[in-house]
Structures are given as C-alpha cells and as structure tokens.
A and B are shown apart, each in its own frame.
Chain A
C-alpha cells in the first residue's frame, strides 16, 4: 500500500504524509489480525506445546477446513447474503462421495465428480430461489439446511441401515484421490496436513478475486447497494448466484477433505458448523449487512478459532471455556466492525 502511494505521480498536498496508519485502521481485517496476534502470544506463553512444530501443525489443521468455509462465506456475506446450509453441506457432499464410492462401487474420482455436481446444483438452487423470490437468504437457506439434514439421515439409513457410511478406503482410486485431499507433507521434521495448503490456496484466490478483479468489485457492489449496482450494469443476479455456488463448492472441498481423511462419514455431522463459518467471517471483518469485509480477514478469523480451540486443549482446560472465548470474540468483532462502517459511511451534509 505504501509503495502505491509513493509512486503516484501527482500527490495532493492536502493528504499530507502517507496515511499508512489511517489506511490500516479502516481495513476490515485489522481487528482480526490484532486478535490473532494476541491469541498466538497468549497460548505461546501459557502452554509449552503451542509453539512446537507439532502444536502448530495441530492448530493449523483445525483452522484449515473451517477457514476454507469461512472464506467462502465471507464472499457471500460481502455480497449481502447468508448460507445456513453451508455446515450441513460439508456432510452432504461427503455422504454423496462415500455412498457412490463405498456402496455403489464407483471409482472415487467419479464419486467426487458426482458430489461436485450435487453441491453446485444445491448452490444454484439456493441462489436462484433467493433471487427469484426476493426473500431473505436467511430463510431460504434455513429451509435448505433442514432439508439436507433430513436427506442426509434418511438416505444414509436407507442405503446402509446405519447412520454412517464407511469403507471409503477400499474404494478404487483411493490412493490418488487421497493424495490430493488427505495426504500430509513434511516441514521442519513434522507432518502437516494437506488441508492447510488448500486453505492457503483458496484464501489467496478468493482475496485476489475480491480486490483485484471485476467480479470482486461486483461482489462489494451487490452487497453494498444492490439496486445502484444493477442501475450501472452490474449483473446482480449472476453475481449472487455465483456466490451461493462458490459456498457450495467450498462445502464440497471441505466435505471431501474430511471423508478422505477419516474414510467414514456420520450422517448428522456438520450441523451447527454454519454458525462457526459466519462467526469466522464476522471476526474477519464482514458486516452482517453486506458490502464490507475481507477474505483474508475470514481466514485469520478461522485461525483465531483454531488457535483458541487447540490452545485450550494444550493448556488442559475444560473445552467449555472455548465457548466463552468465542462469545467475547464475536461481540468484540461486531463492535469493531460497526465502528469501522460508521467511519466509512460518515456523511458530511
């Protein structure tokens, strides 16, 4: 940012010194970054295990799958919509893959593709329904959430007679698919999960699209003032539907990372995670009203989640304290975001 300012040929004399500090303060992810540093320092000092490479691998892994979803949800929230079916989606996609691979006996790559088609279809359905009816996405995706939850249990019971699907490890293609979704890589003598790389890559691509491309500009516009955006030619409906499908795609990615690692899926997993994704996005600077937020911030929000959740385990405390921590973080984040928005929207009359 600083180099940007300095290379600009005609600088206005009224700007004064490059306002690095002021620029930084209005960035949506700044609160999350400070929070992450505080949590990191705290557990590094309080526990012995937190700062070891083994410890880092644990909390990074915990943050990774949550982070992928939080980033996708942050894009959707910046675009002014919610997706309450995102949590259950991670179970549905895993179940589709597992049933086609373990029970139908298809190659895992084929099962993966079918699962992707399923996810994109659900995302498309969410998006089209929200845009066609004009109803709040909150209620539409709540319906989808309940429907998928029922479908997950009902279909799983009908196919397997139990509430779980297992046996993915013996499906054809497990070796090659597993390499992409569930392998580990070595760094500093410790095994790190490949999910961490997916998280970093997904965040990088999302952040780049959001701040550096046309569609990114449109996401901010449709979330900030949908009708104004439409009036100047932004494809409102297309942008929002694409956002719902992106969230569904992230659900597919996370669901399959899970199913390939554990090789078993519980039909009732994923319930309640949708709120964690939203919390991650909000801690990362997203406004509940849309039009403001950051993909990197959401990734950092998930990192805070992972660090706190695992830090509490390392410290040997009761995990109930995590919920208290979460509540405090969320309230703090909402207050900070609100202040930032006021600052950005302050009107001079």
Chain B
C-alpha cells in the first residue's frame, strides 16, 4: 500500500581510514516521516549526504524507487526527486520571498537574450504555494530576512515541494529555533507528509522527532542502533537510546552522588 521511495541496505562510508558510517539500513516511504536521530558525530550528516548526492556510499546498497542508485552530484539527487533543505543554507536573507522561492529555477518570458523574469507569475505562484503549505504571507516582496526562523525553513520546504520533490530531507530544521518556532516547522513537516512526500527528518531532539515520526533510526558513532517503527518504541525508550542508555544512568548516578556530597558539605 505504501510506496517505498528510498531503501538503504547496510550502507557504509569511509573517508580514508575513518569509518564514518557502517551497516545502516532503513526505508523512506511516501507519506511517512523517517527520523534520523543521533548525537554530534553519530553519522547523521554522512547518511544524508549520501542520500542527497553530496557523497557516495562505499559499501551496501541504496535503492531509489526500487533500483540500485549512486548519485554523482546533488543535482542528480534533485532530478530523482530528492530535495534537501539544509538548516543554515536554506535561503538568501536579503532577497525577497518570491525571488528566494524561485532561485535557480526562475520563470521567464521572452526568447533568447531578451528573456526576462516573469515577476507577476513568480509572485503569484510563490504566494499560492506558500499558502497551500499554510504559510500566509502578507507580502512576497518582503526580504526573507524579515521572516522568523521557522518561516524561513518553511519557504525552503515549500520550494522543494513545489519543484516536484518526492522525498524531502530536512537537516536539523529545528536546531536553531525556539520552542514555538520548532513547533511551527514540525507542523509543516506533517503537512509535507500528508501531501504524500517521504520525509527524512534529521534531529538530535527525540521530543521533536517522536510526534511526527513513523520510523526512527538511531545512530551512534557511525553505527545503527536499529530502525524502529513507531508502534515498537516509546518516547522514553527513544530518549534512552539517544542519550546512550546505560551511560546516562551511570552519569545520573554519579551526579546524584555529587549532589548528596555537596549537600552534606
């Protein structure tokens, strides 16, 4: 019933003698959110760079629409319908919303050297596409810099959807945001999912991942701690895995010890 967009099987990546990622497997289905969780250096970035075509995997298989694939460049991934929204590289702040929306794929009218931007169409399409995502902007001529952090991410998400992405990779979209803004972004992630896109959400915050996620892949030091369906895992268990489980308990024990000592002193 669900359409499988991307499947990775035992994918690994080495940079010289450094094993950045090994034997990671998961799937991205249309209309579902696959969350990739992990602490800094866990291999999250390496995994999404393989999916986005920035790097190529050195072992295992990546299946896109059922066919084994290796992307040579980000452009190839984009052409295959896999769009990536990077946290800090989403938009150009000084440019207007509609110019950002169409950046790199501007609509034009006229022929040859006399082609000019179709500004009317650009503004109308950008406004409509954003409205469909539930982002109601007063004026698409305003610079993106005047938008909130959450809204900026959403402009980038709406852009990816508009230009025909089937799978959407979001790199830490909530990392730099406050609680409220993070909520706004998560709502748009759910929007994208409900419109039939397969979403890969990278985050280190299980509280952001759990409400929208259908599947959770936890990475640690380049290895997979397993890919679990939502039905198979609780938020508490996810948080425990993320934080390193036993290590955290040990830490809590030590801190508890410090606390009581200082209390006594």
A225 at the interface (CB under 8 A from B): yes
Within 8 A of A (CB), among B57-103: 74-75, 78, 84, 86, 89-95, 99, 102-103
Alpha-carbon separation in the docked complex, A300 to B114 (Å): 26
A228 at the interface (CB under 8 A from B): yes
**B94 close to A229 (CB less than 8 A):** no
Alpha-carbon separation in the docked complex, A58 to B117 (Å): 37
Give the distance to chain A from B94, nearest Cβ to Cβ, in Å.
Answer: 4
A26 — nearest CB in chain B belongs to which residue? B143
Alpha-carbon separation in the docked complex, A247 to B89 (Å): 29
Alpha-carbon separation in the docked complex, A197 to B254 (Å): 80
A127 at the interface (CB under 8 A from B): no
Give the distance to chain A from B193, nearest Cβ to Cβ, in Å.
Answer: 22
Q: Please report the number of residue pairs spanning A and B whose Cβ atoms sit closer than 8 angstroms.
A: 93
**B181 close to A12 (CB less than 8 A):** no
B244 at the interface (CB under 8 A from A): no
A232 — nearest CB in chain B belongs to which residue? B104
A19 — nearest CB in chain B belongs to which residue? B139
Interface residues on B, range: 35 or more
Partner-binding segment picked from A33-41, A45-53, A311-319, A340-348:
A340-348
Partner-binding segment picked from B31-39, B40-48, B144-152, B195-203:
B144-152
Alpha-carbon separation in the docked complex, A328 to B222 (Å): 58
Alpha-carbon separation in the docked complex, A216 to B108 (Å): 12
A220 at the interface (CB under 8 A from B): yes
Tally of A interface residues using CB under 8 Å:
32
B250 at the interface (CB under 8 A from A): no
> With a CB–CB cut-off of 8 A, which chain A residues contact B143?
344-345
Q: Given A291-B94, A347-B149: A228 and B99 within 8 A (CB)?
A: no
B255 at the interface (CB under 8 A from A): no
List residues of B whose CB falls within 8 A of some A CB.
74-75, 78, 84, 86, 89-95, 99, 102-106, 108, 115-117, 119, 123, 138-139, 141, 143, 145-149, 159, 178, 181
10 interchain pairs, CB-CB under 8 A: A12-B139, A217-B99, A218-B103, A220-B99, A224-B92, A229-B104, A291-B92, A344-B146, A349-B149, A349-B181
